[in-house]
A and B are shown apart, each in its own frame.
Chain A
Amino acid sequence: MKLKPKTLAMILAGGRVDDLGVLTFHRPKSAIPFGGFTRVIDFSLSNLMNSGLERVAILSQYRSYSLINHIGIGTAWDMIGRYRGISVLPPYQGYGNSQWYRGSSDAVYQNLDFVDYLNPEQLLILSGDHIYQMDYREIINYHREKDADLTMACLKVPMDEAHRFGVADIDDEDGELGGRVVRYSEKPGSPEFNWASMTVFCFKPKVLYEVLESNNREATSHEFGRDIIPRMMHENRRVFGYKFKGYWGYTGTIEEFRQANMDMLGVDPPINFVDWNIRTNLEHRNIRDCQPLKIGNNAQISDSLIYNGCIIEGEVERSILFPGTYVEKGAKVKDSVLFFKNAVGKGALLDRIISDVNTTFGSGVRIGEETKSGSKATTVIGWNNFIKTNTIIGSGCTVYPSLPPEKIPKQIEPGEVVR
């Protein structure tokens, strides 16, 4: 029995996050490329692997192909074996009232038979949408020590940001480590406390079953943050907050997503990919078969991360380039994130953009002219586009995925959306 895992981890990976726009048109947020070679979910999976938690379920609903492809059979994270594994749990049709997942907690509720079968001592429920490094054994230990019904990981955020999160008021029962959650409110209009929930929940399964049952019976909304935690607070369950102090890349908007990528630049980034064993699935898009990055005689590269399989003949500054991207002579890419297989033509300038996979920028294309107010916002280009020679695109623009080239105007004003 020693081998049998005591903890089951479930990753909520179904969300699309509206504010990330075209990047989530064809994939859930957890499958968005990040940092030059990984996907967002690799951070949760690597955290689990490094915490020795290798029995994992992934709840996915929205456009899950890219995600399922990425997970493969779990070998990339060593999650294969008799007591190790990753099970992808999509919504299903069954006998009776089966349906789409109606919310994050409903996704768990609909899979309680799966949980029950494995019969864990605690259930760790995570979002697959965040960039951070955490040893979950610490929160689990704390949870068991307190004999808590729920322990949630929280990060102190500035008070003026607190309205975007589920926030907890945590007492000082255990000082820096954590304490009892005395108040909780989901996205409050005028926040009074600011320990933001990171969507890392450790539940006592029996209690969760009860709360999910009553939520299913009585409510029409089925979200952990909005419904389950308030219900547990109301029922006066033992809810604890575990105080997290590390880096948390919460990438709810395009600007935050770009910034979290940029945070990985420099010689001492907040997440040490190597020491913390961040792994991705090298089979996905066959990035393991890329040849080394090839750098031309006149190239200039500064403060950037560039993966194998790229060819750089132009200039790259403060940018992150995924495999298979080609920057031609005289082209310049700065403050940008280019996903897999972009091509940047001669003399093109890409300034502060995020470009999804398979986009070609013709020669002389210029992107990222400042707005009239002087500020500069990120321009986002959806996948599979061809931007014709000498097109001029302002800052803060959005170009929808897979447009016929003739539908993309030769000049796009700042902030414009091309669909």
Chain B
Amino acid sequence: MSNPEDTLVLLLAGGVGSRLNVLVKTRAKPSVPFAGLYRIIDFSLSNVMNSGMKKIGVLTQYKPLSLMRHLATGEAWDFTGRSRGVKILPPSTGFRDSDWYKGTADAIRQNLSFIKANPSKEILILSGDHIYQMDLFAMVEFHRQKNADITVGMMIVPESQIHQFGAGITNDEGRIIEWEEKPKVARTNLASMGIYVFNTEYILNLLTEDKEMVDFGINLIPKAIAKDNVFAYPFEGYWRDVGTIQAYWEANMDLLKDDSEITPETWGIRPNPESEQLFADRIPARFAAGSKVNGSMISAGCVIEGEVINSVLSPGVKVGTGCRITDSIIMHDCVIEEGAAVDLAIMDKRVKVGKGAVVGTGVNKGVPNSKYPDHLYTGISLVGKEAEIPPETIIGRNCIINPWSKQEDFSTKVLLDGETI
């Protein structure tokens, strides 16, 4: 009988995700809030839960505290019980005394003892930083049916984007016959989603035989397709790598569409509200007389007295009278005081916007951030955690306000397009 419980899951959650800029100053990318009350990793964890696998190791490395608090006992995703569990697998010093994870394959190699301690037929490797819904057990069944050594989850992307991915060329039976990591010239539109099924014995042998292999896409897959059974599992549906500010903002905006392709609740995606460790529960969103909200997602605990258009609000955001929030993502417990305006901005938790301040204004959306021109170039301004924006301050496009910026850090009332505090 085919059984999801025979598959051990390893979730790679260690990446820095530096292109998310201030959002990853205090946390790893999988831990970045998404869609109001979720974190990015909730999508992968819930997919695992809904696919019936019972044991999961989460490989952490970069700023893991927020992530560890969020995972807690794993109860939110039903991973508690004698045969179930979530284990945090941090890097540890070993024989060679070093030893940060050098790459995806290396991270797995350093956790061979965990793999051996939890006997399995296959190892399912996921990344903790994608937004999608997928029946992972269907992929495992495909892998078993093909008698594969490795199965790679792959989907079709526009050829113009293939340079960001591992690219595969398959034959009629779905066997991967050629592989190029991040190709400069597109020869296929089939992209790797960073989801792999390995036969446990196969990967154990492979990783112990060849100590040089540190990355799946760069070393392991190209070598394996030459001699072993490597298949592509085709995935169709909504899938986003939200690794850039622009992609992160767009995926949040996708939620707001009338017939949105992302529907976390019907997908069975579970958040972990308890990890907020609040004394009181969040109460229903409170809308004052005279408020106006359209095309938005509003989480519990928000108090809306002003106007919110086409935006995603996490729990506990307060929008004062006469405020106007448009095309923005506002995270937990931000306070937008009376008469302030926020347009095309992403605000991390507990930001305070003073009375009458303007965040995101002007027509020059194309003036990139001067420090991070490759992070911010479409007009989005970023405000880091717990920053305080003084009243009446005016902030332009593609600006960055670093976390914990205080009123006195603002030497000027006007922050021009592309500037940073």
Interface, chain A (partner B; CB < 8 A): 35-37, 265-267, 273-280, 282, 288-309, 316, 320-321
Complex CA gap A280/B278 in Å reads 13
Q: Which of B280, B281, B297 contacts A295 (CB 8 A)?
A: B297
Q: Is the CB of B288 within 8 A of A303?
A: yes
Q: Contacts of A293 on B, CB cut-off 8 Å?
A: 285, 297-300
CB of B266, distance to nearest CB on chain A (Å): 9
Total interface residues on B, CB under 8 Å, equals 42
B351 within 8 A of A: no
- Grouping DSSP codes into helix (H, G, I), strand (E, B) and loop, the B interface class, with mixed when no group exceeds half, is loop
Decide yes or no whether B36 CB sits under 8 A from chain A.
Answer: yes
Q: Is the CB of B285 within 8 A of A306?
A: yes
A36 to B292 alpha-carbon distance, docked (Å): 20
B283 contacts A278, C-beta separation under 8 Å: yes
**B293 and A301 contact, CB distance less than 8 A:** yes
Given contacts A291-B263, A292-B35, A292-B312, whether A36 and B284 have CB atoms under 8 Å apart is yes
A289:B293 contact, CB within 8 angstroms: no
Give the residue of B274, B281, B291, B297 whose beta carbon is less than 8 angstroms from that of A302. Answer: B291
Chain A CB count within 10 A is highest, among B258, B279, B283, B312, for B283
Q: Nearest residue in B to A269 (C-beta to C-beta)?
A: B286
Please measure, in the bound complex, the distance between the C-alpha atom of A280 and the C-alpha atom of B291, giving whole angstroms: 27
> Contacts A279-B281, A292-B313 known; A37 to B300 CB distance under 8 Å?
yes
A203 to chain B, nearest CB (A): 30
CB-nearest residue of chain A to B283 = A273
Say yes or no: A291-B297 contact (C-beta < 8 A), given A267-B303, A303-B288, A304-B287.
yes
In the complex the two chains form, is A305's CB within 8 Å of B294's CB? no
Q: Which residues of A contact B313 (CB under 8 A)?
A: 292
Question: How distant is the Cα of A274 from the Cα of B294 in the complex, in angstroms?
Answer: 26
Chain A residue contacts of B294, Cβ below 8 A: 295-299
Closest to B299 in A: A292
Give the chain B neighbours of A292 by CB distance below 8 A: 35-37, 297-300, 312-314
Bound-state Cα–Cα, A278 to B280, Å: 5
Contact status B283-A295, CB under 8 Å: no
Assembly CA distance A280 to B273 (angstroms): 13
Q: How far, in Å, is A98 (CB) from chain B's closest CB?
A: 36
The residue in A265, A291, A303, A304 that gathers the most chain B C-beta atoms within 10 A of its C-beta is A291
Residue B130 lies at the interface, judged by CB distance under 8 Å to chain A: no
> CA–CA, A266 to B36, complex, Å?
24
Contact with A along B257-293 (1 / 0, CB 8 A): 0100001110001110110000111011111111111
Question: Of all chain B residues, which has the CB nearest A46?
Answer: B280
Could you give 9 example pairs across A and B, Cβ below 8 Å? A36-B284, A274-B280, A288-B274, A289-B270, A298-B294, A306-B284, A308-B284, A308-B300, A321-B284
Most chain A CB within 10 A, of B76, B270, B284, B287, is at B284
Within the complex, the shortest CB–CB distance from B260 to chain A, in Å, comes to: 8
Q: A273-B280, A302-B290, A303-B289 are in contact. Are A291 and B296 (CB under 8 A)?
A: no
Residues on the A chain within 8 Å of B36, using CB = 291-292
